[in-house]
A = this chain, B = another copy of it.
């Protein structure tokens, strides 16, 4: 491994849209992860997934064929409860999101109460919620109007689905909520915010110079990594970089291209 891409000690990977889409690994991604593991590199998965817990994500990856034993995943679902605990202690929250998000918040010791008109929550946590609806929008907005703090797991507006479809993400649900508020203040957790990168760095046990962030999303992975002072590798999947967007340290077209470049094959 003499490539300049091979000198890092820790490789932080985005997941959905980077290593796989849905439950389909991209060509070369399993081989890449195996190769880095064989080289004794530290591997951390850092995802804005807000519907599944870190353990659920690792189990899915294992089912897809990734060698995840001994690897760590940090996903927005769990980072949210962790952040609230570190910053505010154990709090009372209502959740507009998945059952896994609720379970994760409870796991960090928070008190989870129903998102109804009578709850007196200190925080409303908004994650990707496939059961989001008009009524939840109304309740979320009016709870915030009454003083609850709005917490956003991640700000992505959509992720790519089958046949190039756009699958709504937390940020799209947030847009409705924000449109109804006068001077909204939102506590955002996921990439590109500093918190996930700070936690990943702590977990790596290495200096930031020794870490590389690998991702396909220029506004979360590359911007966040760059803000955190970490080198970044953008998997462009043949997209061109949007104007005025952050500049990645490296760019390759596919995850397989990264693998081949790492082995000096291209």
Task: State the A residues within 8 Å of B (CB).
Answer: 129-135, 137-138, 141-142, 145, 157-158, 165-168, 171-173, 175-176, 178-180
Contacts and interface: CB of A to CB of B under 8 A. Distances in A.
A166 B179 contact: no
A145 B160 CA distance: 13
Given A130-B135, A133-B134, A157-B179, 12 more contacts: A129-B134, A130-B134, A131-B134, A132-B133, A133-B133, A134-B173, A138-B165, A141-B158, A168-B180, A173-B176, A175-B178, A175-B179
A135 B133 CA distance: 9
A129 B137 CA distance: 12
Contacts of A180: 157-158, 166, 168, 172
A21 to B, nearest CB: 16
Contacts of A178: 175
A97 to B, nearest CB: 11
Contacts of A173: 134, 176
